[in-house]
């Protein structure tokens, strides 16, 4: 199993960035995976505590995180590794 570039566990949530995938679980929800090569953009709402990931397929995922910049940097680093 590959080692995450970034990992954060907080208040029942999990965010992991691997070289080929982004994995997250928010509170009571299921674990979800977005492949790095499918991430088209990462946006930061003006008000909020998270990011919005848009995929090449047009889907939008709102991810709550206390470490917005670290998550974004980790995803960009993973994209550079592809």
CATH number at residue 76: 2.30.29.30
Backbone angles phi, psi at 6, to 5 degrees: -145, 140
Which pLDDT value is given to residue 82? 87
Tokens linked to 64: 């709550």
Which pLDDT value is given to residue 42? 97
Residues 73, 76, 81, 82, Cα dihedral to 10°: 160
Within-domain flag for 77: yes
Within-domain flag for 1: no
Task: Spell out, as residue ranges, where the chain has pLDDT lower than 70.
Answer: 1
Residue 34: CB atoms within 10 Å: 17
The Cα 20–Cα 56 span in angstroms is: 15
Domain count, the chain: 1
pTM confidence score? 0.92
Tokens linked to 3: 């080692």
Residue 70: domain span: 6-81
Which pLDDT value is given to residue 1? 66
């Amino acid at each position: 199993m590959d080692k995450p570039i970034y990992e954060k566990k907080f208040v029942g949530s999990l965010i992991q960035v691997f070289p080929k995938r982004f994995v997250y679980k928010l509170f009571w929800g299921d674990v979800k995976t977005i492949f790095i090569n499918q991430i088209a953009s990462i946006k930061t709402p003006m008000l909020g505590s998270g990011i919005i990931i848009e995929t090449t397929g047009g889907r939008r995922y709102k991810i709550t995180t206390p470490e917005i910049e670290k998550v974004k940097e980790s995803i960009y680093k993973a994209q550079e590794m592809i």
